[in-house]
Structure 1
Amino acid sequence: MVRSLVLSASIFEAMEKTVVGLWEHSLGCAAIANVIARRLSINDPEEISTAALLHDIGKVVIRENLAEEAAVLDEAILGENISLYAAEQRILKINHTQVGQRLCRHWNLPDRLAEPIAYHHEPQKSANHYVSTAIVHVADVLVRARGFGFGGDKWVPALDHNAWAALTLREDDLPGLIAEAEEVLVELRGFSFEIQTLGEKCPPAIES
C-alpha cells in the first residue's frame, strides 16, 4: 500500500507537468476501476485503482522523453483522424502500453499491476490477472465515453465484450454503474480544479 501511494504521488507530479487532461483521465480511470472492483467485492480494490492510475504511464514517458516525436503523433491524430494508439504503432513502432510494460519491469512491479498496464487495450492477452485487466479496460472505455479528462485523442475504444462478461455484471447493471461513476467523476472534476487552482497560486520555488 505504501509503495502504491509513493508511485501514485510520483505519477501525479509527472502528469501534472505533462498534460492536465491526461492526469484527469488517469485519475478518473482509477476512481471508476475502484467503483467496479468494490461492486465485484475484489479483495484489494485499491491495488486495481493503482493499476488504473498508472495504465497510461507510457504516454507520460513518451511525452517527457520524445517531445519531437510526441508533436508528430499529435499532428497525425488531428490530421489523419486516427487514434493515438494507431499513431504510436505506425510512427514510433512501439505503443504506450509496451512502454508502460517495460517501465513496470524496470520498477520491478508485480504482474498484478503490470498486466493491466500492458494489456488494457487488449485484455485477452492478460494471462494471469484477466479480471483486473478487464476492470481497467472497462474503466478506460467508460471514462473516455464520458469525456472526462483527455487520454491523448477523442477516440472511444470499443468495449471488449469478453472483458465485460468476465466482470459477471449483467446488462441491466450498466445504468447503475454509470450513474455511480458519474457521481465520482463530478467530485473528481471539482478536486482537479482545486488542485490546479492551488498550483497556480503557489509561489515559484526559490533556487539555492
Structure 2
Amino acid sequence: MKKFIDAKGKSCPMPVIMAKKEIDAGVKFFEIEVDNKIAVENLKKLANSQGFTTTIKEDNGNFKVDFSNGCEECEEVLAKVEGKKPLGNWAIFVNKETIGAGNDELGQSLMKMFFYTISEGKDLPKSILFMNGGVKVPTLNAQAIEHLKVLQDKGVELLVCGACLNFYELENKLEVGKISNMYDITNAMKEASKVITI
C-alpha cells in the first residue's frame, strides 16, 4: 500500500524535508498532502531533482502530491514473485505409500512429516513424482495431501502415474497433483540434477 504523509499546516521547508526523508529511506511511491501552493511547487522541484514524477490532486484547498519513481504495479508483481521460494533442480520419486519398512502407520506418519519439512525448507524440488503404491499418498494420506498442496501452490510440479491410479482404482480420489504418464515422469527424472527416492 502506498504510504501517505499528512503535511497540512506545515510551513516550508517542513513538507520538503518530510518528503526527502522518504526518498532517502528508499521509498519509491508515496503521497504527501499539503495546504498551500508554495509547498506544492517546492515538492515538485524536489521530485524533479531526485528523479521522481509527480501528479497533483486538489480538493477543497488541499493538495495531494503523488511521488512516483518507476512502475508501482511492476514493483508489486516483483515483490510477490520474489516472495516465493525458488525451486531447485531436483526431484522426489515416491514409489510406495510409506517411508521405510516396518510399521505402516509409522511409515505414513513419516511421509506426512517428510513433505511438511520439505514445504518449510528453502530449497524446494522442481517436481515430485508418484508411481505404483506412491499414488496412494496424494489420494489417501490426508495429512500429507495438505503439505503437498502447499508445495503445489509454491510452484512444485506433482506428477501422478495415471496407469497406477487405474490399477489401484484411485483415479477418482486424486486430491492434489495432475494425472501423468511414464513419458512425462521419466523426462522429469532426466531433467533433474538429482532424484531422491523415498
TM over 0.5: no
Higher helix share: 1
TM-score, normalisation: structure 2: 0.24
The structure with more radius of gyration: 2
Greater RCO, CA 8 A, separation 6+: 1
Higher strand share: 2
TM-score, normalisation: structure 1: 0.23
